[in-house]
């Protein structure tokens, strides 16, 4: 059975370099997909060995599926609330 949730610390050798590359991607509002706040990158950020490393960790093969946002980055700012307001959270 696959794990439902896993946290892996110190996964990337240089996380700041990956962050810089992610921030350099294009985040076009016209490309918005999914039911999440923020913007999806218009192209993926391939990280060499990522799929193989995750496959080893979970004990199952990981591979991109056509039409998904596999390896894309999401840019979400504090002002991105996805329609959630304080009023809608009150009981």
Domain region containing 68? 15-89
- The domain tally of the chain equals 1
pLDDT in tens, 49-80: 999 999 999 899 998 899 888 999 999 888 88
**Are β-strands 39-40 and 74-75 bridged in parallel, bridged antiparallel, or unpaired?**
antiparallel
Would you say the pTM of this structure is higher than 0.75?
A: no
Q: Flag whether 7 is in a domain.
A: no
Q: Flag whether 54 is in a domain.
A: yes
Where does the pLDDT of residue 82 fall: very low under 50, low under 70, confident under 90, or very high at 90 and above? low
> Rounded to an integer, what distance in angstroms lies between the CA atom of residue 70 and that of residue 90?
35
Contact 73, 41 (CB under 8 A): yes
In this structure, what token pair is assigned to residue 59? 């004990």
Average pLDDT over residues 80-85: 60
Q: Flag whether 56 is in a domain.
A: yes
Rg (CA), the chain: 16
pLDDT in tens, 7-37: 999 889 999 999 999 999 999 888 877 778 8
Per-residue model confidence (pLDDT) at position 56: 93
In this structure, what token pair is assigned to residue 6? 């896993």
């Amino acid at each position: 059975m696959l794990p439902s949730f896993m946290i892996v610390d110190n996964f990337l050798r240089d996380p700041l370099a990956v962050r810089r590359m992610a921030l350099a991607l294009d985040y076009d509002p016209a490309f918005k997909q999914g039911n999440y706040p923020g913007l999806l990158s218009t192209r993926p950020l391939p990280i060499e060995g990522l799929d193989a490393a995750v496959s080893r960790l979970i004990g199952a093969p990981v591979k991109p599926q056509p039409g998904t946002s596999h390896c894309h980055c999401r840019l979400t700012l504090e002002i991105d609330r996805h329609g959630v307001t304080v009023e809608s959270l009150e009981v």
